[in-house]
């Protein structure tokens, strides 16, 4: 087991950082196959980590990181979804070994938004139970290839988002009601796959730790109106508890379950699923947090058709929080205290240690005289790390903190106009250039913070 020291890290995800499009046996992923608007970078080159990996790990070491949270690209390890690709496995072996030589704990996530397009083409991806065994087979390849050196693992990153993101999961059903039913069925299959993966993990990596990476939803009611209070509670069930309750307890919240049954959206299950779901519990919970959410009850005849799928029901809708500072890319507002509030709620419900796996500020950084001055990012990170220090000082088990992101990545929908990195990647949406790495002021600030450690 790893030493109980606070881990300082940074994060990336494979399809947003690697590039290496269909190189060395990599198959087509759902992230590769999706349609990207003109003038927006796609994932074919991304930040070109596939060809800059050794340099990137050296920058991590210089930064002082003690953990690197990344993801395996499912379609690089199993291009067609069925047969292992040794060249892809070799790449991750090299990455892991480079991290270990730099005294950095490698912390991979198995499923971060992309999957082999071949599985979508063959049987609809997660709509079919066939995808469950494909995922477990993929996890087995990873555990056997890397489990001798990798002891901290994430299962599924942000199941809330990946269940609803049609361009990343292949749910292109035209009928709106059927699409919703499919979405909940896909999410159920992901949960069952996660549980079977944990079961396998106990056998293959018995000394390791594994758990889900959640998109933490800190939900405030827009006002103390009772209807808004209830709407906020319903939102918590639909946006967070349904995923984490399943991960930890093997069941859905009761009100959530009843609503899906009423709508005809409750997923098809099999009797033997119950034992699998309840017997295999995670060791930790990864926390992705950028901002809080404000919720209110719907008004009569209100149109919700333009909301994301997970907001399309009669129980709640987005409200507005006038107390938070909003920016172009942080449209929900910046709320450092929400990180503390949300983690406290999660611990009191699940009683599992946590690690912050993503937390960062998006900004359209500009390179001036070969430098990036980003005091806005330093302010954001500093304020959120202070809330982590508060959390730890009160005795809650927080394993570490990972800033999002290590370096500028291709954003899912905004390309390289939206940047989160501690390290600037010198490319634009339309000109890849050399993807030169340039540490930002926030990189050097974080370097000092890591050296100084947590405040008491």
pLDDT tens digits along 356-380 = 999 999 999 999 999 999 999 999 9
Question: What residue segments make up the domains of the chain, in order of their start?
Answer: 7-216+282-290+327-452
Q: Give the model's confidence band at 448: pLDDT under 50 very low, under 70 low, under 90 confident, else very high.
A: very high
* Dihedral over alpha carbons 400, 403, 409, 415 (to 10 degrees): 130
Sign of CA dihedral 355, 335, 418, 295: positive
> What percentage of the chain carries pLDDT values higher than 90?
91
**C-alpha 456 chain-centroid distance:** 29
pLDDT value at position 368?
Answer: 95
User: May I ask the CATH architecture of the domain 7-216+282-290+327-452?
Assistant: Alpha-Beta Barrel (3.20)
Distance of alpha carbon 348 from alpha carbon 386, whole angstroms: 20
**CA-only gyration radius of the chain, Å:** 21
Residue 405 has pLDDT above 80, yes or no: yes
Distance of alpha carbon 65 from alpha carbon 105, whole angstroms: 9
Average pLDDT over residues 253-257: 98
Per-chain mean pLDDT for the chain? 96
pLDDT value at position 309?
Answer: 80
pLDDT value at position 2?
Answer: 37
Beta-bridged to residue 293, according to DSSP, are: 219
pTM over 0.85: yes
Residue 456 has pLDDT above 90, yes or no: no
The single residue listed with the structure tokens 């339309």 is: 430
Interaxial angle between packed helices 176-204 and 130-146, expressed in degrees from 0 to 180 and rounded to the nearest 10: 30
Are 145 and 57 in contact, with CB atoms under 8 Å apart?
no
Average pLDDT over residues 193-209: 98
Are 292 and 319 in contact, with CB atoms under 8 Å apart?
no
Are 81 and 139 in contact, with CB atoms under 8 Å apart?
no
Task: Of 135, 128, 30, give the one whose Cα is nearest residue 81.
Answer: 135
Q: Give the model's confidence band at 3: pLDDT under 50 very low, under 70 low, under 90 confident, else very high.
A: very low
DSSP line for 312-340: -STT-EE---TTSB--SS-TT-B-HHHHH
> DSSP secondary-structure letter at 25?
T
Q: Give the model's confidence band at 341: pLDDT under 50 very low, under 70 low, under 90 confident, else very high.
A: very high
Beta-bridged to residue 424, according to DSSP, are: 438
Sign of CA dihedral 73, 79, 82, 87: negative
Task: Of 132, 124, 18, 36, give the one whose Cα is nearest residue 77.
Answer: 18
pLDDT value at position 1?
Answer: 32
> What is the side-by-side order of every strand in the sheet holding 317-318?
219-221, 293-296, 317-318
Are 114 and 75 in contact, with CB atoms under 8 Å apart?
yes
Q: 358 an active-site residue?
A: yes
| Marked catalytic residue, from 358, 389, 394, 430 | 358
Q: What separation, in Å, do the N-terminal and C-terminal C-alpha atoms of the chain show?
A: 25
pLDDT value at position 308?
Answer: 81
Residue 202 has pLDDT above 60, yes or no: yes
Residue 329 has pLDDT above 80, yes or no: yes
Residue 91 has pLDDT above 70, yes or no: yes
Whether omega before 335 lies within 30 degrees of 0, making that bond cis, reads no
> DSSP secondary-structure letter at 422?
S
Distance of alpha carbon 22 from alpha carbon 29, whole angstroms: 9
Number of Cβ atoms within 10 Å of the Cβ of 82: 13
Q: How does strand 423-426 pair with strand 398-404?
A: unpaired
Residue 265 has pLDDT above 90, yes or no: yes
Distance of alpha carbon 409 from alpha carbon 423, whole angstroms: 10
Distance of alpha carbon 285 from alpha carbon 241, whole angstroms: 13
């Amino acid at each position: 087991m790893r030493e109980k020291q606070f881990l300082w890290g940074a994060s990336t995800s494979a399809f947003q950082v690697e590039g290496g499009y269909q190189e060395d046996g990599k198959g087509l992923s759902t992230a590769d196959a999706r349609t990207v608007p003109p003038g927006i970078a796609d994932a074919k080159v991304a930040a070109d980590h596939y060809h800059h990996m050794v340099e990137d790990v050296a920058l991590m070491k210089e930064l002082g990181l003690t953990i690197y949270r990344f993801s395996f690209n499912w379609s690089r390890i199993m291009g067609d979804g069925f047969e292992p690709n040794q060249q892809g496995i070799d790449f991750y072996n090299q990455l892991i070994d480079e991290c270990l030589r730099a005294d950095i704990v490698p912390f991979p996530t198995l499923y971060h938004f992309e999957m082999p397009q071949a599985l979508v083409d063959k049987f609809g991806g997660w709509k079919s139970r066939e995808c469950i065994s494909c995922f477990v087979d993929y996890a087995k390849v990873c555990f056997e290839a890397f489990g001798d050196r990798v002891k901290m693992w994430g299962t599924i990153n942000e199941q809330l988002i990946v269940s609803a993101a049609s361009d990343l999961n292949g749910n292109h059903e035209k009928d709106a009601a059927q699409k919703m039913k499919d979405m909940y069925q896909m999410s159920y299959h992901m949960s069952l796959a996660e549980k079977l993966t944990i079961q396998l993990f106990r056998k293959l990596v018995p000394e390791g730790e594994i758990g889900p990476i959640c998109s933490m939803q800190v939900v405030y009611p827009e006002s103390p109106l009772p209807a808004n209070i209830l709407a906020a509670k319903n939102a918590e069930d639909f946006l967070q508890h349904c995923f984490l309750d399943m991960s930890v307890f093997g069941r859905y919240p009761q009100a959530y379950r009843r609503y899906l049954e009423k709508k005809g959206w409750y997923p098809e299950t099999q009797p033997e699923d119950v034992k699998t779901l309840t017997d295999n519990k995670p060791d930790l919970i990864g926390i992705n947090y950028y901002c809080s959410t404000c919720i209110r009850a719907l008004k009569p005849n209100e149109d919700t058709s333009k909301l994301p799928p997970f907001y399309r029901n009669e129980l709640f809708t987005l409200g507005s929080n006038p107390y938070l500072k909003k920016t172009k890319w942080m449209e929900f507002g910046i709320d450092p205290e929400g990180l503390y509030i949300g983690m406290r709620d999660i611990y009191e419900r699940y009683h599992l240690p946590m690690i912050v796996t993503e937390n960062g500020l998006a900004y359209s950084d500009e390179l001036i005289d070969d430098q990036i001055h980003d005091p806005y990012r330093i302010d954001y990170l500093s304020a959120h790390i202070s809330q982590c220090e508060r959390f730890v000082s009160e005795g809650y088990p927080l394993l570490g903190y990972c800033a999002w992101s290590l370096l500028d990545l291709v954003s899912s929908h905004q390309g390289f106009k939206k940047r989160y990195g501690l390290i600037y990647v010198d490319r634009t949406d339309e000109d890849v250039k050399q993807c030169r790495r340039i540490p930002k002021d926030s990189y050097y600030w974080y370097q000092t913070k890591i050296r100084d450690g947590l405040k008491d």
